[in-house]
Structure 1
Amino acid sequence: MSRAVVIGAGIGGLTAAIALRRKGWDVTVLERAPDIEVVGAGLALAPNALRVLDTLGVGDRIRSLSALQGAAGIRRPDGRWITRTDAGRAKARFGDDVIVLHRATLVDALTGALPPGTLRLGLAASDVDPATGSVGTAEGTLTADLVVAADGLRSFVRGKLHPHHPGSRYTGVTSWRMIVPPPGGTLDLAESWGGGKVFGVTELGDGRVYCYATAPAPAGVSAVDERAELLRHFAGWSEPIPSLIVAASTVTRTDIRCLDTPLPAFHTGRVALLGDAAHAMTPNLGQGACQAIEDAAVLADSVPDLARYTARRLPRVTMVARESRRIGRLAGLDNPVTEWARNTAMSLAGRFGPDLVLRQMDPVLTWRPPA
């Protein structure tokens, strides 16, 4: 039986472990943390990712957690719509819902699909040899036919395989995330754009509300009270934004970094890079976790030919990452004239071509996993 070692028990690493096991591989997942640390808050699983989860037997469980309903779109800070569509229209086009859930819920579902003993917590990979597939740990060396490096944005494996790559760069934008109790009444899924800032609101399947915000900021800066900092940026915006910020008990702040320069390959020797380790992207398309899930499916279908994995994934994720970066720059416009031009163009497009925005997502959301 072929043996794989997966470095990192995030969404991509866990999905890869499940996919490889279903192909008959013996898999060990190494996670340096003593417990699976659930960073982040909410995330969206789009139809392209749900199709992979279906092949792994966990899709229906995720869908049972509810789906986006009603209107969705982009607003001005005063609450007026710039453009909007309907979740039902999106489902009709792409054949499935978008599921928004807490990251911990997805991690729990993926972990539960692995047999006991697969996941080794508190055991970090300290070195990797792509020629031999050996992985150094504090407990000794593991040797594998395949090493999957799913060790995130600051991947030490990526640095070893591509020492001259510039790595991730700060986008000039920081982010805040929070989950608040149900406020009562109906909430529209919406992002509000204005002055270079973004505030997003969506409901999780359990009724709580997931909020995220971005704003330009110097790298590495933090506030003593991040909730107060959020209010400083968004207090004058339309309800329910200020009330949601006030209701937050915890606010997490993270600078947004991405790999603006694509890697030349996602593999070297027996080692394959996956997820943020391979192609960290901005969150503007909501495709970070989805693309890691896609990676896992294609990797399992490609092994042992890792060159085929690179050939199938590198062009696609480069396209998705660039589109996400483009949307981020569009949302971040902070000149009144360019904002007006953007809003007008988007409003007209939505009025005269209601499926235009959805059609632009066809290359991303119509993707299907290997048969």
Structure 2
Amino acid sequence: MATAERAIVIGGGIGGLTAAAALRLRGLRVTVLERAATLRPVGAAISLAPNALRGLDVIGLGDGIRALAAWQGDGGLRAPGGRWLSRTGAATAAERFGGPLVLLHRATLVDHLAGRLPDGTVRTGTPARLLDPGVPGDPGRPARVSTPDGELEADLVVAADGIHSAVRRVLFPGHPGVVYSGFTTWRTVIPLPGVTFSSHETWGRGRIWGTHPLKDGRVYAYAAAVRPPGERAPDDERAALLRLFGDWHTPVPELLAAVRPEDVLRHDVHHIDRPLPAFHRGRVALLGDAAHAMPPTLGQGGNQAIEDAVTLAFPRPHAGPSSASPVADDLPGYTAARLPRTTAITRRAVRVARLNLTTSRVAAAVRDHAVAALSKAGPALLLRGFDGVADWRPPGGPSGAGGDGDGAPRMLAADHGKPGPEENTP
């Protein structure tokens, strides 16, 4: 009997853990190397759109995550004074995309993903460095990775090592890397038991605020503002938010009053402006922010990493554990499937950021008028921006994996442009 392929995943975030679970279903022996001491992620919450939930169906997690959906009824876009620019009902979006938008704490998703892996699969506190990308089809040239405990060899290496990926620099040393997107983000999760309100996002000039309830009774709040890169508040980041958003509509001041300064996360946003020439080289595949870091204005960073992971493991319809082709031999097809899609979504996210965060008074007024007019003409018009994004379905998956085709669960769905800057964290 042939020995199962061995895969090393560098990075134990959402994309890396999804890839590990999917590759195990494909029949590979997988080891995840995570430099942090634990899998507790940096970040507050993440939104999973229908496309990512269909990807999680492939590894058997889709329904469990859908059950955590908290948003019911209407939500929408507001102006800083409180006026609703548009309202969108969950049922309208469900008709278009056939799945929910689920907002949950990143730690909850990581726990679910890690639960799909056997004990010992993830090695925390283990930084890794790519020594040799290897050569597919040449048994004498496996990929080689160094760790503090020695070198490891693998038939496949998945680099999910984030926006400042060291593996990306090794594979493509001439690529310029990431650029500053022009704005910074703040995120926090606030315990507010018994308080209810509609999910909303508010657009000002050069500023955005969003508020969304979580299933466990907490509230996820996020903000974005056009600021110079590297800037930090002279006092604390809660005070910075009060200066920027303290006079905005309810419940923004109330939420800021309830948050502790130490619970506010701030990160400058970067993205890959020049697409990579490929998402692979040798036996190594780049995944998630390492391959296509994008602004969070479409809420698709983590969603696209999940798409990457299941496409890497199951690139063809009905590919399963019995597939005879080594995964490393399929890497050109992985690039062909993922690079054009993620490039288009990244460019769309950059355009949306410029619109949402315009600092021009005239441009902001025109933007708000256009949104209100489109909303009156029909909510479905505002959802067209997600055609080709939220309606994605996995190209393949092991026999019996749920969630594709007409078998995808039909639940409440909505995405109003972006749930928030929850991805793209350094």
TM-score category of the 2 structures, normalised to the smaller one: over 0.9
Residue type at the aligned position of 1:318: T
Q: What is the match of residue 359 of structure 1?
A: 384
5 Å matches for 1:81-230?
81-131=84-134, 132-182=142-192, 184-223=194-233, 224-230=235-241
Displacement of 1:183 after TM fit? 6.0
Matches within 5 A, 1:1-371: 1-131=4-134, 132-182=142-192, 184-223=194-233, 224-249=235-260, 250-302=263-315, 303=327, 304-371=329-396
Task: Measure, in 2, the Cα distance between the counterparts of 1:50 and 1:128.
Answer: 35
With normalisation by structure 2, the TM-score equals: 0.85
Unaligned runs of 5+ residues in structure 2 are 135-141, 316-326, 397-426
- Aligned partner of 2:415 in structure 1 is none
Q: Partners of 2:29 and 2:310 in 1: how far apart?
A: 16
Matches of 1:84 and 1:324 in 2, distance apart?
A: 21
Alpha-carbon RMSD across the aligned residues, in angstroms, is 1.1
- The separation in 2 between residues aligned to 1:93 and 1:187, in whole angstroms, is 25
Q: Residue 30 of structure 2 aligns to a residue in which SS?
A: strand
User: Which structure is richer in relative contact order (CA contacts within 8 A, separation 6 or more)?
Assistant: 2
Q: Is the 8 Å Cα contact of residues 227 and 246 (structure 1) preserved in structure 2? A: no
Of the structure 1 ranges 284-293 and 125-134, higher mean CA displacement relative to structure 2 is found in 125-134
Name the CA distance, whole Å, in 1 between partners of 2:290 and 2:157. Answer: 13
Q: Which amino acid aligns with 1:137?
A: T
Query: Which secondary structure does the structure 2 equivalent of 1:307 belong to?
Result: helix
The code of the aligned residue for 1:153 comes to I
Counterpart secondary structure, 1:281:
coil
Moved more, 39-48 or 346-355: 346-355
CA contact (8 A) 1:128 1:157 kept: no
Identity %: 54
How many pairs were matched up? 371
| 1-structure distance, mates of 2:242, 2:148 | 45
Q: Distance in 2 between matches of 1:317 and 1:128?
A: 27
Shift in Å, 1:106 = 0.0
**Residues 92 and 379 of structure 2 are in contact (CA less than 8 Å); yes or no, is this contact kept in structure 1?**
no
Give the AA of the match of 1:9: G
Superposition deviation, residue 353 in structure 1: 2.8
The 3-state SS of whatever aligns with 1:88 is helix
Partner secondary structure for residue 340 of structure 1: helix
Query: In the TM superposition, what is the alpha-carbon distance from 1:164 to its structure 2 partner?
Result: 1.1
Per-residue CA deviations over 1:264-300 (Å, capped at 9, x if unaligned) read 1000000000000000111111111100000001000
How many Å separate the matches in 1 of 2:383 and 2:369? 18
TM-score by length of 1: 0.98
Deviations 1:86-121 (A, max 9, x none): 112112221111000000000000001101111011
Q: Does the Cα contact within 8 Å between 1:28 and 1:120 map onto a contact in 2?
A: yes
SS of 1:365's equivalent in the other structure is coil
Deviation at residue 220 of structure 1 after TM alignment: 1.2
User: Secondary structure of the residue that 2:42 maps to in structure 1?
Assistant: coil
What is the CA–CA distance in structure 2 between the aligned matches of 1:253 and 1:69, rounded to whole Å? 29
